[in-house]
Amino acid sequence: MSRLPAPEILPEVMANPLVTTYSRDGGTKDASVVGGRADESIAIAPVRREEPIVTRKELWSYYLYYNGDNGVGPNGYSMTLFQSLATAAGFDPVKGPGSSCNASDASGQCVLPWGGGTKAVSSVVLVSNGVSFAIMTAIFTTIGSAADYGTFGRWLLLILTIICWGAQFASMSLTSPDRWGVAMALYMIGFITYGATLVFYAAVFPRLARNTQHARDLREKYERGEVSAEEYEVEESMEKNRISNISTMHSNVGYIVVLALNLSLLLPLMNNPKVNNYVLVLTNGYWVLTGIWWFIFQQPRPGPPLPKGEHYVTVGWKQIWIAFKQYKKLPYTFVYLIAFFLLADGLNTTGTLVSICQNDKFHFSFLQNTYLGLSQAITSTISTLGFWYIQRYWKISTKTMFVVTNVVTIMIPLWGMIGIWTPKLGFHNVWEFWAYNVVFGLFQAPYYAFSQTMMAELTPPGFDNMFFGLFGLSNRASSMIGPNVIQAIIDNTGNNWKGFPFLFALCTAASLVIWFGVDVTTGRRDAVSWAEKHRSYADTGIWSEEPEEGSIDSPRKK
């Protein structure tokens, strides 16, 4: 589709490109601002006319990127290979140096030389995750907001993607236990860049959702008075959910396809010592094949130029400081960010801990992990489509759908706690890992889609990367608390399962805050109002606490 000529699009908004507020019956009225928030009004965000409409090729290339960026390599196989080499290089602390952790009479514990002493292999894996998340935090805080300016975000995603691809292809060098340190480094590089690609990829979708043909048609109907303000608000939210859910579904489809492709190597070459390396190369090659199209078909939607006197390395910290100072004006946005920080920390660390137990149970078998991954991928695809159908059919809010997925998030560490007191349940049996992957697929794939959509709802328009950078801290870079606490617990007790109670408490507390402390509808209107009030900051880099002339918070001329 070609770009629509600017004079023909939404003339009312072009003449006065401000936020318009509407009473609940659909009529216009003066914005009644209490405490800096338009609680009783529906705020409609302006649309930048120069942005091109999303084409079919562009949208499909967006979906295909996520299809390849499914995490099988950097988030799954790489960790398994790293843990396998580290275990092979370690020794049984009960029998002393020189013993094998893989011996038939091994105690079940395994340590590596570490900083003048020893550290459990499980703790080493958790430490690598904790450091990775800390580096992600530095990335998101330093250059996350800078992605809102010019074409920096587009190039940033490309560079991060290429680094991740390089780390995955370099896994061909990991062929012996003495290279476990290199395996750790490559795992961390791949994991860091993979997490960063997810954040900056997700930051693109609110802008895509605002520029689809359906969204533009809906806006024109609204401007002609054919739909009410409330109906427009609901349908705009549904469009965001549609793109978020479909992209998540494509990630799961890619998960299925790449795992099935890997069986073509794992089955005939199961006795080949390098088969795991070949599988990582095949997995990464699939991502290259599906991901490259986004950088070819993505249409230019640059942000404003970097303000004079600012630098890409410093503007992010400045914006984050400004953003955090706005917590009183965007209360629900920041309550969600803080609560989701803790929830994601708990969930991500729970997943890592279960994976460690799973790898031990299946002796680091890529083949078994592929079968388990297929069960998760198939159920994830089904559940993403199912949850989207249910939401669309009954017009259920994003928050309600997210709450349903949170319940299962809490139940996973609760189940792991049982394993402290009995070897009969609590991730000690083969069937439990099958059940975990199925349940995780059914509920956690929609969890990621709805959590992302909630962030899009609570993000001020035009400040997408700025707030999605903070969301990245709350999501992909949040796990700095969990891994460090859990690795200390495991080091002190020698028991992986002793980490589950802390994770259960963390997930439960965060979920309760989201359930009862976040009003998405009011938060969305606050975000739109805030963006309009400070609409010139992104263009000029000059921050003012005073309402801008013509904004909904500015004093009206008599």
Residue corresponding to tokens 């992302």: 452
* 419, 387: one domain: yes
Residue corresponding to tokens 């979708």: 205
Q: Is it the case that residue 523 has pLDDT exceeding 50?
A: yes
The per-residue pLDDT for 35 is: 36
Largest Cα span, the chain:
87
The more confident residue out of 540 and 133 is: 133
- Kindly indicate the confidence band of residue 537, based on its pLDDT and cuts at 50, 70 and 90: low
The per-residue pLDDT for 318 is: 78
- Kindly indicate the confidence band of residue 130, based on its pLDDT and cuts at 50, 70 and 90: confident
- Kindly indicate the confidence band of residue 34, based on its pLDDT and cuts at 50, 70 and 90: very low
Domain that holds residue 529: 326-533
The structural domain count of the chain equals 2
The more confident residue out of 309 and 283 is: 283
Residue 389: give its domain's CATH number. Answer: 1.20.1250.20
- Kindly indicate the confidence band of residue 476, based on its pLDDT and cuts at 50, 70 and 90: low
541 in a structural domain: no
* 146, 241: one domain: yes
Mean pLDDT of the region 324-353: 90
The per-residue pLDDT for 470 is: 76
Q: Is it the case that residue 441 has pLDDT exceeding 50?
A: yes
AA letter at 361: K
The per-residue pLDDT for 160 is: 96
548 in a structural domain: no
* 370, 233: one domain: no
The more confident residue out of 43 and 323 is: 323
Q: What is the pTM of this model?
A: 0.73
The per-residue pLDDT for 32 is: 36
434 in a structural domain: yes
* 263, 341: one domain: no
Mean pLDDT of the region 79-103: 92
- Kindly indicate the confidence band of residue 534, based on its pLDDT and cuts at 50, 70 and 90: confident
* 274, 391: one domain: no
AA letter at 324: F
The per-residue pLDDT for 47 is: 58
* 247, 330: one domain: no
23 in a structural domain: no
Q: How many residues does the chain have?
A: 558
Q: Is it the case that residue 12 has pLDDT exceeding 80?
A: no
The per-residue pLDDT for 482 is: 81
- Kindly indicate the confidence band of residue 260, based on its pLDDT and cuts at 50, 70 and 90: very high
391 in a structural domain: yes
Residue 142: give its domain's CATH number. Answer: 1.20.1250
Span of 43-52, 102-111, 430-439, 491-500 with lowest mean pLDDT: 43-52
* 305, 330: one domain: no
514 in a structural domain: yes
Q: Is it the case that residue 30 has pLDDT exceeding 80?
A: no
Return the half-sphere exposure (C-beta side, CA atoms, 13 A cut-off) of residue 72: 37
Q: Is it the case that residue 98 has pLDDT exceeding 80?
A: yes
Query: Could you give the percent of the chain with pLDDT greater than 90?
Result: 44
* 365, 438: one domain: yes
Q: Is it the case that residue 88 has pLDDT exceeding 70?
A: yes
The per-residue pLDDT for 540 is: 58
Angle between helices 481-493 and 331-361 (to 10 degrees): 40
321: exposed, middle or buried (Cβ count in 10 Å: 0-12, 13-18, 19+): exposed
**Rounded CA gap, 199 and 194, in Å?**
9
Q: Is it the case that residue 21 has pLDDT exceeding 60?
A: no
Q: Is it the case that residue 37 has pLDDT exceeding 80?
A: no
538 in a structural domain: no
Angle between helices 180-202 and 121-143 (to 10 degrees): 40
Q: Is it the case that residue 140 has pLDDT exceeding 50?
A: yes
Q: Is it the case that residue 474 has pLDDT exceeding 80?
A: no
* 383, 305: one domain: no
295 in a structural domain: yes
* 296, 331: one domain: no
* 360, 294: one domain: no
